[in-house]
Structure formats: C-alpha cells, structure tokens
C-alpha cells in the first residue's frame, strides 16, 4: 500500500476509536522495535510459548519467530492475555530444514544470529554489544536447548549471569530477562531502534483494523467513495 493510501486509511479508522485508545496506539507504536527479534526453536509447552509472546509485547519487540521442526507452537489464551493481537508471529514449518532456512532469512535481513546458551565462547548478557547491529536471539527447547544447526551457524553466544546451583532458567523466564535487559539498553542508547515511518503507518493500520469492528468493509466503502 502506498504511503498516501496508508495515511488515509489510518486517519479514517482513527475516527472510529476514542481519543484515549488513539493515544495508547500512538504510544505503543512509537515504542515498537525490529532492531531485536526473538526466535523460538521447537518449544512444546504452551504456557512457556505464550509467556514469551506476552513478554515480546510488554517490552516492545514486534516480531516473534517460531521454528516448528518437531513441536507445533500453541498459545495458551490464559497466559498470552491478548498479546497475540499486537505481536507479529512468524511460523517456520514449511521447509525440510526449517532452522537453517530461518537463519538464512534473518541473515539476509541483516540480523546477527545470537544463541542464548552456555558455550565455551559465550559472553554475559550485560556485555553484549547492541551497537554492532540488529540481532535475532534464539531460544531452544525446555529439555535439550538449541539444535546443533543453530550452534553451528550462530554469530555470537550469550548467557545470563547465574549464581545458584540450578543450571538454567525456565525458557520463558530466560526470554523475559533477555528482553528486559535489551529493551532497557536500547532506550538508553543512540541506536536508531524505532520503526521507519512506513513501518509505523503499516503497524498502526494493522492495530486499528483489529480495534474497529468490520474495519475491512469500512475501508472498502471509504476508498470507493474517495476514488
């Protein structure tokens, strides 16, 4: 959709929502980022998968990628709390090697592949350099962690500092801790982490369409009258 058409559609649908709702949408879209993406590989517990999506929404990360090699990604409505309406979910389940195709796609888009797992060459999360460029953080299954494919193709390895006997965090807790740190650091930095003008309009239109009943029908009638 052309920029002018996007602007017209946004302005039209804004007429169907309250000023308060408009303020919330404007505030949230201004805090959205694609500088960071989250990738889940073969997560099989619905409560964990749903909690990660909820965290993405809360910390302003717009894109959640899910690799479904063996386990289908299912959402628990009681945990996700409506966040699936506001976060873009990208499912990767059509290829023979979904993990490799996902990594390839993200690298082509300019993302560093970051494996969140203890590793001989890993760094602690507080030492991760966000300024080096966009990053996609991979999280593995609850039992076995990330696949060898991710480990072999990762650009960097990051771990969360731990000081107890337990070897790892629950996957949803791990993702929330990583997102909290990265979101805070992004907003303290001089990095251009916000959405582009076109991305902002596209996302605002998407959210407005989800907020206005029969929005598609309304838009069709609007553009018919304004040809």
Does the annotation flag 67 for ligand binding? no
- Give bridge partners of residue 159 from the DSSP assignment: 124
Residue closest to 36 by CA, chosen among 58, 17, 56: 56
Helix (H, G, I), strand (E, B) or coil at 69: coil
For 107-170, give the DSSP string: HHTTPEEEEES--TT-EEGGG--GGG--EEEEE-BTTTBS-HHHHHH-SEEEE----SS-----
- Crossing angle of the two packed helices 215-225 and 3-14, in degrees rounded to 10: 120
CA distance 26 to 72: 33
Helix (H, G, I), strand (E, B) or coil at 189: coil
CA distance 93 to 54: 22
Does the annotation flag 116 for ligand binding? yes
Binding residues for S-adenosyl-L-methionine: 116, 160
Binding residues: 116, 160
């Amino acid at each position: 959709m052309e920029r002018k058409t996007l602007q017209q559609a946004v302005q039209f649908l804004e007429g169907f929502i309250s000023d308060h709702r408009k303020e919330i949408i404007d505030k949230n879209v201004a805090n959205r980022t694609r500088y960071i993406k989250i990738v889940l590989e073969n997560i099989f517990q619905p409560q964990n998968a749903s909690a990660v999506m909820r965290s993405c929404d809360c910390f302003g990360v717009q894109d959640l990628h899910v690799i479904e090699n063996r386990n289908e990604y299912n959402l628990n409505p009681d945990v996700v709390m409506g966040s699936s309406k506001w976060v873009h979910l990208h499912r990767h389940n059509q290829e023979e090697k979904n993990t490799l195709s996902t990594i390839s796609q993200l690298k082509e888009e300019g993302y560093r592949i970051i494996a969140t797992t203890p590793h001989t060459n890993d760094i602690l999360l507080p030492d991760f350099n966000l300024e080096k460029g966009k990053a996609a953080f991979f999280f593995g299954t609850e039992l076995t962690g990330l696949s060898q494919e991710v480990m072999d193709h990762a650009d960097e390895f990051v771990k969360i500092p731990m000081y107890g006997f337990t070897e790892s965090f629950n996957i949803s807790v791990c993702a929330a801790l990583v997102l909290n740190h990265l979101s805070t650091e992004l907003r303290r930095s001089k990095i251009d982490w916000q959405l582009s003008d076109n991305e902002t309009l596209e996302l605002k239109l998407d959210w407005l369409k989800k907020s206005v009943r029969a929005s598609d029908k309304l838009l069709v009638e609007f553009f018919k009258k304004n040809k």
